[in-house]
Amino acid sequence: MNSKKIILFASGSGSNFKKICEYFKNDNTVSIELLISNNPKAKALQIAESFNIKTLVIDKQSFYDSDKALINVLKINPSLIVLAGFLWKIPSAFIAKFANKIINIHPALLPKFGGKGMYGMHVHNAVIINKEIESGITIHYVNENYDEGSIIFQKKIKILKSDDSLEISKRILKLEHEFFPIIIQKVLNNG
């Protein structure tokens, strides 16, 4: 049986990437083929190394102006591309080649608090400033616009009066770690 191939993109600490690697480690139906990062100092690269996953570090020019990253991805022909804390907008060439095969996780209940610059603590601070009564995670398909692709899954938490943005970020990250690998598996099984 051929395994379903995944390529992941990450820019930072790689905590979601690590949870995804752990989740699929003993699953011979899924193979994590490559981690692409725009940050040569990303901890995600060390995590990939520990799981014997190939890595590719890209710079902005080669990502947007050439086909270097796209060619590497096309060689693998992934079943799914997963953005796990990747901060750059995906080029339209990628989106055209892999329509409905690129997913992202966002630390808020889209369509609220999405768009350019809305990541990490920026999102959680906005939730506090706007006195929201709930937040959560959204897993969605990627299209040409930041955080506007079709929603696959959302999970909510209540915002407590005692919550600050740091506390919300911790609770949201727990949701991400719990649900992102499961939803990736569901998308793969339905794809």
Which residues does the annotation mark as catalytic?
Answer: 106
Other CB atoms within 10 A of residue 123 CB: 21
Which of 143, 147, 101, 118 minimizes the C-alpha distance to 8? Answer: 101
Alpha-carbon dihedral sign for residues 168, 173, 176, 179: negative
CA–CA separation, 6 and 132 (whole Å) = 35
Helix (H), strand (E) counts: the chain: 7, 7
Residue 125 CB partners (closer than 8 Å, separation 6+): 165
CA–CA separation, 102 and 13 (whole Å) = 21
Alpha helices in the chain (DSSP H): 15-24, 43-50, 60-65, 68-76, 92-97, 120-129, 165-190
